[in-house]
């Protein structure tokens, strides 16, 4: 068996054995890869590669739509459904018009979603050590279910994790009446800097530090319970080197 076929077989096993949550992660990781391949092919006027990878991207977004549980997912699931529908429509039009600029904007949206997920991973260990909940929000508006839960909890403070692309200023403003104290934001210029900023905010010192790749989320997702149990930070790192934000932590 050749090396490429072994890699392909391994990836097939990953997908077939994945939980719904991990399947979503794998789909998002591959979506940005094939979109960037399509972008390169478009710039180089490689028609077959462009058509092939745009087709793969549409198929992935269609698969992401099937992972949504609208009945139990509430406003966030509905928002994601609308976003996935928008991505599909845009991909079809971009493919027809061969518009590299619009494709670049779509890649930015996909990357932002991945960054938001990375921010949530960084939050898990910090929240576990403090024994506080992590609530989800849409980037542009605070879901009613999240607002209702905050009213029930009546928190003395709220910490927003991630930059304005992940959680907008409008959401921050909507949170202020729901806390009796401060609403603060912890973020960095990228997922690695954000994980370091979360660690600095939550931990003054630590006997143990968990490291996980920021290039793929399953490892970090699996490490959150252990980090929370050990009251230890979880830092995201690049596969082959330590990002500048992490050593300074």
User: pLDDT digits over 38-63, tens only?
Assistant: 999 999 999 999 999 999 999 999 98
Instruction: Provide mean pLDDT across the span 108-122.
Output: 71
Question: What pLDDT, on the 0 to 100 scale, is given for residue 49?
Answer: 94
Residue-wise pLDDT tens digits, 224-233 = 666 767 777 7
Structure tokens at 63: 């698969």
Residue-wise pLDDT tens digits, 148-201 = 999 999 999 998 988 887 788 999 999 999 999 999 998 887 777 877 887 787
Q: How far is CA 58 from CA 81, 116, 135, in A?
A: 14, 21, 30
Check pLDDT > 80 for residue 77: no
Question: What pLDDT, on the 0 to 100 scale, is given for residue 244?
Answer: 63
Give 45-111 as a DSSP string: T-HHHHHHHHHHHHHHHHHHHHH--HHHHHHHHHHHHHHHHHHHHHHHHHHHHT-HHHHHHHHHHHH
Who wins on pLDDT, 97 or 234? 97
Instruction: State the pairing for strand pair 210-213/158-161.
Output: unpaired
Check pLDDT > 80 for residue 219: no
Q: Please tell me the distance from the alpha carbon of residue 178 to that of residue 18, in angstroms, as a whole number.
A: 37
Question: What pLDDT, on the 0 to 100 scale, is given for residue 14?
Answer: 46
Q: How confident is the model at residue 6 (pLDDT cuts 50, 70, 90)?
A: very low
Question: What pLDDT, on the 0 to 100 scale, is given for residue 9?
Answer: 47
Cβ partners under 8 Å of residue 48, min gap 6: none
Q: With pLDDT > 70 as the criterion, what percentage of the chain qualifies?
A: 72
Q: Please tell me the distance from the alpha carbon of residue 35 to that of residue 249, in angstroms, as a whole number.
A: 33
Strand partners, 184: 159
Mean of the per-residue pLDDT values of the chain: 77
Q: Please tell me the distance from the alpha carbon of residue 26 to that of residue 117, in angstroms, as a whole number.
A: 12
The full set of domains in the chain, from first to last, is: 3-98 (1.20.120.340), 120-248 (no CATH)
């Amino acid at each position: 068996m050749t090396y490429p076929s072994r890699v392909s077989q391994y990836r097939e096993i990953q997908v077939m054995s994945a939980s719904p949550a991990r399947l979503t992660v794998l789909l998002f990781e591959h979506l940005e890869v094939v979109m960037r391949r399509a972008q390169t092919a478009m710039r180089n006027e490689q028609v077959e590669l462009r058509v092939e990878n745009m087709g793969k991207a549409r198929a992935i977004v269609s698969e992401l739509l099937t992972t949504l549980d609208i009945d139990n997912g509430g406003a966030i699931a509905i928002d994601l459904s609308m976003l996935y529908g928008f991505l599909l429509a845009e991909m079809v039009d971009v493919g027809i018009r061969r518009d590299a600029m619009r494709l670049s904007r779509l890649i930015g949206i996909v990357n932002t979603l991945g960054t938001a997920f990375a921010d949530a991973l960084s939050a898990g260990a910090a929240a576990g050590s403090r024994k506080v909940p992590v609530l989800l929000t849409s980037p542009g508006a605070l879901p009613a279910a999240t607002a209702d839960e905050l009213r029930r909890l009546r928190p003395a403070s709220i910490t927003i994790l991630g930059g304005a692309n992940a959680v907008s200023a409008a959401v921050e403003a909507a949170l202020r009446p729901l806390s009796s104290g401060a609403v603060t934001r912890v973020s960095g210029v990228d997922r690695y800097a954000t994980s370091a900023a979360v660690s600095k905010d939550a931990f003054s010192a630590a006997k143990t530090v968990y490291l996980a790749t920021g290039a793929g989320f399953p490892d970090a997702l699996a490490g959150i319970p252990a980090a929370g149990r050990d009251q230890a930070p979880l830092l995201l790192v690049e596969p082959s080197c330590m990002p500048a934000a992490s050593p300074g932590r």
